[in-house]
Structure 1
Amino acid sequence: VNSPPTDANISPRYKKFIVQHIKGQMSATRCDHEIRSRDITKTNSNECKETNTFIQASTNLVKTICGGAGEPYGEMTKSLQPFSIVVCTLKNQQARHPHCQYRGQARTRRIAIKCEQGFPVHFERDIIHFEN
């Protein structure tokens, strides 16, 4: 049983992480649709995010990075295993939600996330396999 985070600050950030970054069945052609339907924008604005990465995995699997399936990476935690991800990059700069248009790229990469009290709260970046 997954109990929600007890700290009131973490729960909304964890939920936001799930909305912005977890999509089990994601394809590179679905960036526009997913970003629009999930209302993903720059924080506290209606500006389009420059990039948004979707992790093709279950919430629980990503959460394991914050436990035994991750290792320290500066302030972040990096996954020991690569994940299938789709990186959505904004095509029409200066656009506003809901008119954001993205180019999607499927990749397999290790990922770096920020964990708080065992929960992922921020997606930092993907890591090319030969980086340390």
Structure 2
Amino acid sequence: MRIQFVSLLLALLCATVLSLPEDGNPRYRKFINQHVIGRMSADRCDAVIRSRDITMTDSNECKETNTFILATTKLIKPICGRAGQPYGHLTKSLQPFSIIVCTLRNQGATRPNCQYRGQARTRRIAIACNSGYPVHFDRDIAHFEN
């Protein structure tokens, strides 16, 4: 009986999570998969990129560079609103984020042979937003205090 209750509770929780508005936005989900991670060290690029199936769009080629933002969606999504400012056609974060920039070491490689060098940085980030959701990571921006 207890297992059935837990199973029912998990099913309800999954249904609630799946019905959230952002679930209907595939570009936002892709952004999260490719760029958002709570914790990560610079030496984990190969493993994380492999486990998340990150490659060049519509290809088996290794992505040249991929940046991971070390934060939650609760901190990143507000950049598209009050926590961001216009930056050309993009939006720039008001606050810097810890990021890991993964750069391909073996040019021209294809999955699963992608090998990356990771570098930890603290930078503001520039993203594209669509209907209040981050949908594209464009670049990191060095931020210097005056």
TM range (shorter): over 0.9
Q: Tell me what 1:40 maps to.
A: 54
- Provide the secondary structure at the position in 2 that maps to 1:113: strand
Relative to the length of structure 2, the TM-score reads: 0.83
How far the C-alpha of 1:98 sits from its partner, in A, is: 1.1
Whole-angstrom distance in 1 between the partners of 2:75 and 2:88: 22
Answer 1 or 2: which has greater helix percent: 2
Q: Tell me what 1:4 maps to.
A: 21
Which of 1 and 2 has higher RCO (CA within 8 Å, sep 6+)?
1
Establish whether residue 103 from structure 1 lines up as the match of residue 117 from structure 2: yes
Q: Tell me what 1:114 maps to.
A: 128
Relative to the length of structure 1, the TM-score reads: 0.92
How far the C-alpha of 1:5 sits from its partner, in A, is: 3.9
Q: After TM superposition, what 4+ stretches of structure 1 lie above 3 angstroms from structure 2? A: none
Aligned with residue 42 of structure 2, among 28, 34, 38: 28
- Provide the secondary structure at the position in 2 that maps to 1:87: strand
**Cα contact 2:102–2:118 (8 A) shared by 1:** yes
- Provide the secondary structure at the position in 1 that maps to 2:57: coil
Within-5 A mapping of 1:33-72 = 33-72=47-86
How many pairs were matched up? 127
Whole-angstrom distance in 1 between the partners of 2:74 and 2:26: 17
Larger radius of gyration: 2
**Cα contact 2:55–2:62 (8 A) shared by 1:** yes
